[in-house]
């Protein structure tokens, strides 16, 4: 979840045995990531989840002003413009049909990577030999020595606009089937997607991947 990632990436010891989210002079890439995650929480009215990590006065007053107060306290209201974001979060209970797929890469939180789509970098999440990355709107999946790319951007474009206006507890995960450039197939369960509100670029994706192990034997051309 966004809250868990904020705790993992940005919360520090407060010197009194506790953990706090405070201004720490972050470099701009880290500040941009934190802004993005806070925007997503605000978009689904879940900034209150951060209350134990923030000064109590930041959660007081009008809810409509809460984000600005938090941004100011965390020194995130600098001269660099904040992107307008478009996102959805899907937390409604559901059952996923995995017929035909015999392997799963558990839910992963991915962020846009290098433009060349390298999937072996230190920041690439992995699970039992599976490495995932986002690159230019594509989901890059590497299993062992085999790699394929899937057009996640096109799949998200095809989702109904209603997903962006539905409350998280009423929206089930969005399930899409994709075929890669090398002919392999995956089923994705999309928990959360964050896109740039201007150009539609995928900034982050929280998803689970189902695949067929027999399709991932190494072969010429990937």
10-residue stretch averages of pLDDT, the chain, 222 residues long: 79 77 77 79 79 82 76 71 75 93 92 46 49 93 94 96 90 97 97 86 92 84 56
CA dist 32 and 149 (Å) reads 27
CB-based contacts of 188, cutoff 8 Å, min separation 6: 139, 150, 152, 155, 175, 176, 177, 178, 207, 208, 209, 210
CB-based contacts of 146, cutoff 8 Å, min separation 6: 182, 184, 216, 217, 218, 219, 222
Tell me the angle at which helices 66-73 and 28-43 cross, rounded to the nearest 10 degrees.
Answer: 160
pLDDT at 218: 67
pLDDT at 10: 83
pLDDT at 122: 33
Give per-residue pLDDT as tens, 115-174. Answer: 333 333 333 444 457 999 999 899 999 998 899 999 999 999 999 999 998 988 899 999
pLDDT at 113: 59
pLDDT at 102: 94
Backbone angles phi, psi at 39, to 5 degrees: -60, -40
pLDDT at 86: 85
pLDDT at 77: 66
CA angle 211, 167, 30 (to 5 degrees): 70
């Amino acid at each position: 979840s966004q809250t868990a990632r904020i705790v993992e990436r940005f919360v520090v010891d407060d010197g009194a045995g506790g953990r706090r989210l405070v201004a720490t002079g972050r470099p701009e890439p880290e500040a941009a990531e934190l802004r993005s995650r806070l925007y997503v929480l605000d978009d689904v009215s879940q900034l209150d989840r951060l209350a134990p990590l923030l000064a109590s006065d930041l959660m007081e007053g009008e809810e409509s002003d809460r984000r600005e107060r938090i941004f100011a306290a965390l020194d995130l209201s600098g001269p660099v413009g904040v992107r307008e974001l478009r996102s959805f979060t899907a937390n409604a209970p559901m059952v996923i049909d995995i017929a035909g797929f015999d392997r799963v890469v558990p839910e992963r939180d991915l962020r846009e990577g290098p433009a060349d789509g390298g999937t072996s970098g230190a920041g690439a999440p992995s699970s039992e030999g599976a490495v995932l990355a986002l690159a230019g709107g594509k989901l890059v999946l590497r299993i062992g020595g085999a790699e394929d790319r899937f057009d996640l951007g096109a799949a998200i474009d095809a989702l109904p606009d209603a997903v962006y206006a539905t409350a998280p507890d009423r929206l089930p995960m969005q399930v899409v089937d994709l075929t890669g450039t090398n002919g392999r197939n995956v089923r994705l369960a999309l928990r959360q997607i964050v896109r740039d509100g201007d150009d539609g670029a995928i900034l982050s994706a929280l998803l689970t991947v189902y695949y067929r192990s027999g399709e991932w034997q190494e072969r010429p051309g990937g």
